[in-house]
Chain A
Amino acid sequence: MTMYPRKFDYVAVGSVAEAVEALRATEGAKVMAGGMSLLPLMKMRLLSPTTVVDIGRVPGLDSIEDRGDHLAIGALVRHADTAANELVRTHAPALATAASLTGDVQVRNRGTTCGSLAHADLAADQTAAVLALGATLVAQGPSGTREIPADEFFVDTLTSALEPDEVLVEVRIPKGGTGSAYDKLGRRGGRSDYAVAGAAAWVERSNGTVTAARVALTGVGTKPTRARGVEEAIVGTDGSASAIEAAARRAVEGVTVLEDLYGSEEYKAHLAEVYVARALAAALG
């Protein structure tokens, strides 16, 4: 058996503006960077775009820049590069870890951080990290660019806030806070493959007291989502093991837990608590 996508037209664009124009002018066109999410869907014929708009050759999108108060990760930065980058490891360890646990070596060599975010899989890794880090996503469309807060970006399962004629050109990660971390249970055991459940945490601690926190879950509900009950519970505490334990108990408060092939609602809720506690402990460590 051979799995081929349905026929489509292919255009390798030289700029984001060209990509936006191709997306605007062509009904059913889809943008591709590494293709690690798009091509499997096309091969399984769950998706059959009329045209694939390949941004893989657009210059200037493959760098991670230090812009003073934030890092900017371009649309063609591969998972492997996000994971290995010193700036990301220093200022956003949750994202570096999430990128290092995305897919496998070959997927990380080809797939992009922005591509994974735009795909908005409910069990992806870096989605939770950008939520916890309070990132901003920059979309370019026919009328220019707009900034979308991570909290508004993940709309539903496989659905982002991007319009069909918009390209995610970069994700901006604010610096600051005293620590961040990501951890998960993978579908193939250990940390391999998509998350059965995973959690990212970002914290700010001053004079021993947790003054701010953002915690996000992936793999647990219909989309990556903030665990606001945990955030409320951990802020104002000393971040001790018992404070973490108590806060983690609120992991799925307000979250619609989704049963899937990898676990029941009860199991997922349990894992959410476990991984929230681990991510918080690592971020506070």
Chain B
Amino acid sequence: MKISVTVNGTRYERDVEPRTLLVHFLREDLGLTGTHVGCDTSYCGACTVLVDGRSVKSCTFLAVAADGAEITTVEGLAADGELHPVQEGFWERHGLQCGFCTPGMIMSSVALLEENPSPSEAEIRHALEGNLCRCTGYHNIVLAVQYAAAKLRGEQPPPADWEEVGA
């Protein structure tokens, strides 16, 4: 089946089998391997992308159902060599250990901050309930999102808790 999708601002037309999952379409047909396949059972969220602005799990999404959609993957966040504030937050606050869940964590965080620019810690944790980190690095992931939220609001990010402790 022929489909036409816009991914990170570029329009692609491709022929896909109906059973092709969106995550495989992105990784294998378009070569965008930033989106990861984790659990493959719609639990872990490593495959999270934005479809028409809403976060979804691309392992549980038929590529044919995305025909005509606007998709954003982790590759679409940085602009002109500058990291997106959420990416910067994960860098600055060490919001990853092995990094496998990171693309999904970042996409869910981007979706959260577009909806809610000033989330509380509880709201951040709730918004990331569909993203699992097997390294259990949630603490710094929350700090990363708080850093990004401040940056996006044009404010100075709060110091990391280890900075406060070590000062």
Contacts and interface: CB of A to CB of B under 8 A. Distances in A.
B65 A35 contact: yes
A3 B54 contact: no
A228 B34 CA distance: 52
Interface stretch (B37-45, B89-97, B133-141): B37-45
Contacts of B127: 105
Contacts of B55: 105-106, 109
Contacts of A36: 42, 60
Interface stretch (A6-14, A61-69, A199-207): A6-14
Interface string A1-38: 11111111110100000000000000000001001100
A176 to B, nearest CB: 31
Contacts of B42: 36, 39-40, 106-107
Q: Which of B64, B108, B130 has the most chain A CB atoms closer than 10 A to its own CB?
A: B130
A39 B62 contact: yes
Contacts of B130: 103-107
A56 interface: yes
Nearest to A44: B41
Interface residues of A, number: 30
B145 to A, nearest CB: 13
A9 B130 CA distance: 30
Contacts of B17: 7
A160 interface: no
- Chain B interface bracket (under 10, 10 to 19, 20 to 34, 35 or more): 20 to 34
A146 interface: no
Contacts of A43: 21, 40-41, 60
Given A7-B17, A9-B18, A106-B130, A35 B62 contact: yes
Contacts of B62: 10, 35, 39, 52, 54
16 contacts: A7-B17, A10-B64, A39-B60, A40-B42, A43-B41, A44-B41, A54-B65, A56-B65, A80-B54, A104-B45, A105-B55, A105-B108, A105-B130, A106-B48, A109-B56, A110-B61
Given A35-B65, A109-B55, 7 more contacts: A10-B1, A12-B67, A104-B45, A104-B129, A105-B55, A109-B54, A110-B54
Interface of B: 1, 17-19, 21, 24, 37, 40-42, 45, 48, 54-57, 60-62, 64-65, 67, 108, 111-112, 127-130
Ordered nearest first, which 9 A-B pairs have the shortest CB separation? A104-B130, A10-B18, A109-B54, A3-B40, A106-B130, A106-B57, A5-B19, A104-B129, A39-B60
